[in-house]
Amino acid sequence: MTTVGPLVHQRFLVGARLGSGFVCAWLLLSGRRWESSLHQTRSASPLPIRYNKPLFQEWFASTLNAPNTDAYWRARFDGNPDLGTSTTKPVHLYRYATRITGFHASPDPVRKGQPIRFAGTLQYKKGNTWKPLTDDAWPTLYFKPRGSSTYHYVCELDIDKKGHLEGMVTAKQDGTWALALNRETGDHYLRGARVTDYVDVR
Within a domain: residue 31? no
Residue 184 pLDDT: 53
Within a domain: residue 147? yes
Tens digit of pLDDT for each residue in 69-87? 777 777 776 666 766 777 7
Within a domain: residue 119? yes
Q: Residue 45: is it exposed, middle or buried by C-beta count within 10 angstroms (0-12/13-18/19+)?
A: exposed
Q: Which domain holds residue 154?
A: 98-199
Report the 10 Å Cβ neighbour count for 195: 18
Residue 64 pLDDT: 65
Residue 55 pLDDT: 52
Within a domain: residue 12? no
Averaged pLDDT for residues 141-163: 94
How many distinct structural domains can be found in the chain? 1
Question: The CATH number of the domain where 184 resides is what?
Answer: 2.60.40.10
Average pLDDT, the chain: 73
User: What band does 195 get if pLDDT is binned at 50, 70 and 90?
Assistant: very high
User: What band does 186 get if pLDDT is binned at 50, 70 and 90?
Assistant: low
Tens digit of pLDDT for each residue in 21-67? 444 444 444 445 555 554 443 333 344 444 434 455 666 666 666 66
* Residue 101 in this model has a pLDDT that exceeds 50: yes
Of the candidates 86, 65, 95, 81, the one whose C-alpha atom is nearest the C-alpha of residue 5 is 86
Residue 122 pLDDT: 93
Averaged pLDDT for residues 131-153: 90
Within a domain: residue 47? no
Within a domain: residue 15? no
Report the 10 Å Cβ neighbour count for 93: 17
Within a domain: residue 74? no
Of the ranges 19-33, 110-124, 127-141, 157-171, which one carries the lowest mean pLDDT score? 19-33
- Residue bearing the bigger pLDDT, 177 or 47: 177
User: What band does 15 get if pLDDT is binned at 50, 70 and 90?
Assistant: very low
* Residue 188 in this model has a pLDDT that exceeds 70: yes
Would you say 186 and 168 are in contact if contact means Cβ atoms under 8 Å apart? Answer: no
Radius of gyration of the chain measured on its C-alpha atoms: 25
* Residue 181 in this model has a pLDDT that exceeds 60: yes
How many angstroms separate the CA atoms of 58 and 17, rounded? 11
* Residue 19 in this model has a pLDDT that exceeds 50: no
Within a domain: residue 3? no
